[in-house]
Amino acid sequence: MSPLEIAAVVASALGVWLTGRRIMLCWPIMLIASVLYGVVFWQARLYADTALQAVFATLSLYGWWRWLRGVEEKGAVTIMPLSNAALYYGLAASAAGGMALGLLLRATTDDPMPLLDALLSAYSILGQIWMARRYLANWWVWIVVDTLYTGLFLVRELYLTAALYAAFVVLAAAGLRQWRRAGTMADYRRD
């Protein structure tokens, strides 16, 4: 475990914790974490996850912008409903994109687990987009993805990162609970 990995872990955990509390500062913190983890994953030869960090950095800017548009008078971010069509489209598009990326990684890189790396990356993008759009369902995506990532990082001997992703599962469950509670008190509106 390197100092870079430690810094990435701290920034990532703080970003997720702030997101669960619907605090705007989560986005710049997540931007920093994405840059740090981009380097960590490149060094571990997890190329889809390296590219994913560039996508996350971009989506952090998008999320910041989206959340600025959805702030309640009290300062918390409003939670939005997810339609069934958006749910099914998001899940299917992520599966197709992950499979295509997995085939590309298998053919062009030395990634030891290209399909898993690619599918987790694709579903992580979905979770990040849904988080930026303030959909409660983002937390379900993160619970599943982070559970699988925990195993992947154990296999790749990124033990501190594996522990972080195990903690992410707990933070995602807490975020789900907090957003559900806030959602029952909020007046839902469509974007």
User: 143-172, pLDDT tens digit by residue?
Assistant: 999 999 999 989 988 888 899 899 999 999
| C-alpha torsion 184→186→188→191, nearest 10 | -130
| pLDDT attached to residue 188 | 43
Q: Quote the strand ranges of 15-173, DSSP E.
A: none
| pLDDT attached to residue 110 | 87
Query: Domain span at residue 23?
Result: 3-189
Calpha distance 127→147 (Å, rounded)? 14
* Residue 190 scores a pLDDT above 70: no
| pLDDT attached to residue 44 | 83
Whether 89 and 17 have beta carbons less than 8 Å apart is answered as no
| pLDDT attached to residue 157 | 86
The more confident residue out of 184 and 178 is 178
pTM: 0.81
Whether 147 and 169 have beta carbons less than 8 Å apart is answered as yes
Calpha distance 160→6 (Å, rounded)? 7
Whether 105 and 111 have beta carbons less than 8 Å apart is answered as yes
Calpha distance 171→141 (Å, rounded)? 13
Whether 117 and 111 have beta carbons less than 8 Å apart is answered as yes
The mean pLDDT value for 83-96 works out to 97
Average pLDDT value over all residues in the chain: 88
Give buried/exposed letters for 140-154 (b at 16+ CB in 10 A, else e).
Answer: bbbbebbeebbebbe
Calpha distance 43→70 (Å, rounded)? 37
Least confident of 2-11, 72-81, 83-92, 147-156: 72-81
| pLDDT attached to residue 10 | 93
Query: Count of domains in the chain?
Result: 1
pLDDT band of 66, cuts 50, 70, 90 = confident
Kindly give, in sequence order, each residue whose CB lies less than 8 Å from that of residue 189, ignoring residues fewer than 6 positions away: 78, 80
Question: pLDDT tens across 116-136, in order?
Answer: 989 999 999 999 999 989 899
